Amino acid sequence: MPLRNRVTPLGELIATPERGLVYANRGCLHDAGGVVRRAFNGRRWIACQLQFRGWKREPLIAPGRFTPLFFLDEATGFAAGHRPCALCRRADYDQLTALWAEIHPGQHGADAIDKQLHAERIEAGTRERRLHRIAFGALPDGAFVLEEGQPRLVLGDELLEWSPGGYGDRKRRPSRGQADVITPPSLLELLRTERTPLVPLLHPSATA
């Protein structure tokens, strides 16, 4: 039976047999019996490589250890509010921190980044997901919006419907109006950056 450790663009944890391309964690979310009991544990939400230095992640759900999570792709991880790991994705992390210092002067290091991202993804005083109203025309490729209750990926002039197994239905991106944006604004800024941008890994179905 699938574990409830696959993550949607909204950051929700679901049980599904489809596998993802990105590995991640938010701390220990499961109990002693291996049942996931909470959506996150702390502010440090990171995205990792599926494989690193031949390390074996067995057992997958170990007592007292972090809960392994999986995303369809990195764009999904960005939408959920995860940033690159400083260990297994050091080059991406260094690129992130350099660009971050330009976007948020005075904010340095993982703690400052994680604090800012947490404020952008979770409503203050609650555990509810936070959305952001931004013009459709201002959204970069790789962003996610919520359209008619469904997460959709922004890619060119299209909005692609997300599912655990890949991207499906496509509709034209509106040229006017405001979108309910899922991806945190600070990560949107990284996607917009023309100088050494952090281009997210997309599932092959996005360009099929």
Q: How far is CA 40 from the centre of its chain?
A: 13
pLDDT band at 195 (very low <50, low <70, confident <90, very high): low
Dump pLDDT digits (tens) for 128-187: 999 999 999 999 999 999 999 999 999 999 999 999 999 999 999 999 999 999 999 999
Give the length of the chain. Answer: 208
Residue 68: both structure tokens together: 């392994």
The CA-based diameter of the chain, rounded to the nearest angstrom, is: 50
Residue 104 reports pLDDT greater than 70 = yes
So what's the pLDDT on residue 202? 94
Residue by residue, what is the 3-state secondary structure of 91-131?
A: HHHHHHHHHHHHHCCCCCHHHHHHHHHHHHHECCCCCCECC
Question: What is the pLDDT at residue 65?
Answer: 79
pLDDT tops 90 at residue 197: no
End-to-end CA distance of the chain: 30
Higher pLDDT, 59 or 142: 142
pTM of structure = 0.92
144-147 and 150-155 strand pairing? antiparallel
Give the pLDDT confidence score for residue 115 in this predicted structure: 96
Pick the range with the lowest mean pLDDT from 4-8, 49-53, 94-98, 182-186: 49-53
Q: Which stretches does DSSP call E strand in the chain?
A: 6-7, 13-14, 22-25, 46-48, 69-71, 83-84, 132-135, 144-147, 150-155, 158-163, 166-172, 178-181
